[in-house]
C-alpha cells in the first residue's frame, strides 16, 4: 500500500516569508486602487512593484525553491519529448477533420432517421 506524504511549511521563517509575500501581494492590490487619483503610471508601478517584491519573497522561501526545482525538472522532461514533424501534424489534423465531418454526417443521418420514425411512422404527423 502506497502512502503519500504531505509536505508542509516546516519552519517559522518560511511561514513568515509566506505571510510577508501574501501581505505584499494584498498591499500591491490595495495600493493600485488607493492610488487611483495619482495616475495610471503610479498605480501600475505600485502594483507591479508590490507583486515583484511578493514574488521575490516567495521564491526565497522553501516552497518557492521547491517550485523552482519542479519547474527545472519539468523543463528537462519537456526537452525529452519527441515532437511530431510538420507532415505528421498536418496528416493528423486532416484525419481529425475527416472524422469530425464523418461524425457530423452520421449524427445528422441518425437525427433525420429518428425524426422520420417517430413523427411519420409512429405518430403519423406529416410536415
For the segment 2-26, what is each residue's pLDDT rounded down to a tens digit? 556 655 546 888 899 999 999 999 9
Question: Angle between the 62-80 and 40-59 helix axes, to the nearest 10 degrees?
Answer: 90
Domain residue limits at 67: 12-81
C-alpha cell at 30: 490595495
Q: Are residues 70 and 98 in the same domain?
A: no
Q: Are residues 57 and 103 in the same domain?
A: no
Q: Are residues 61 and 88 in the same domain?
A: no
Q: What is the pLDDT of residues 33-88, one digit of tens each?
A: 999 889 899 999 999 999 999 999 999 999 999 999 999 999 999 999 999 999 99
For residue 7, tell me if it sits in a domain.
Answer: no
* Contacts with 57 (C-beta within 8 Å, 6 or more apart), sequence order: 17, 20, 21, 24
Q: Are residues 77 and 94 in the same domain?
A: no
For residue 127, tell me if it sits in a domain.
Answer: yes
Q: Are residues 66 and 108 in the same domain?
A: no
Q: Are residues 21 and 76 in the same domain?
A: yes
Q: Are residues 30 and 74 in the same domain?
A: yes
**pTM as predicted:** 0.56
Q: Are residues 56 and 92 in the same domain?
A: no
C-alpha cell at 106: 452520421
C-alpha cell at 113: 432517421
Q: Are residues 69 and 102 in the same domain?
A: no
pLDDT at 115 > cutoff 80: yes
Q: Are residues 104 and 67 in the same domain?
A: no
* Number of domains into which the chain is organized: 2
Q: Are residues 94 and 73 in the same domain?
A: no
Q: Are residues 98 and 111 in the same domain?
A: yes
- The Cα 52–Cα 60 span in angstroms is 13
Amino acid at each position: 500500500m502506497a502512502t503519500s506524504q504531505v509536505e508542509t511549511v516546516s519552519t517559522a521563517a518560511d511561514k513568515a516569508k509566506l505571510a510577508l509575500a501574501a501581505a505584499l501581494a494584498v498591499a500591491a492590490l490595495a495600493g493600485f486602487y488607493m492610488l487611483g487619483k495619482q495616475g495610471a503610471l503610479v498605480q501600475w508601478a505600485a502594483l507591479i512593484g508590490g507583486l515583484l517584491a511578493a514574488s521575490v519573497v516567495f521564491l526565497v522561501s522553501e516552497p518557492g525553491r521547491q517550485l523552482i526545482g519542479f519547474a527545472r525538472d519539468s523543463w528537462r522532461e519537456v526537452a525529452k519529448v519527441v515532437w511530431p514533424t510538420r507532415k505528421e501534424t498536418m496528416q493528423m489534423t486532416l484525419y481529425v477533420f475527416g472524422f469530425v465531418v464523418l461524425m457530423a454526417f452520421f449524427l445528422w443521418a441518425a437525427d433525420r432517421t429518428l425524426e422520420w420514425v417517430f413523427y411519420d411512422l409512429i405518430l403519423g404527423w406529416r410536415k
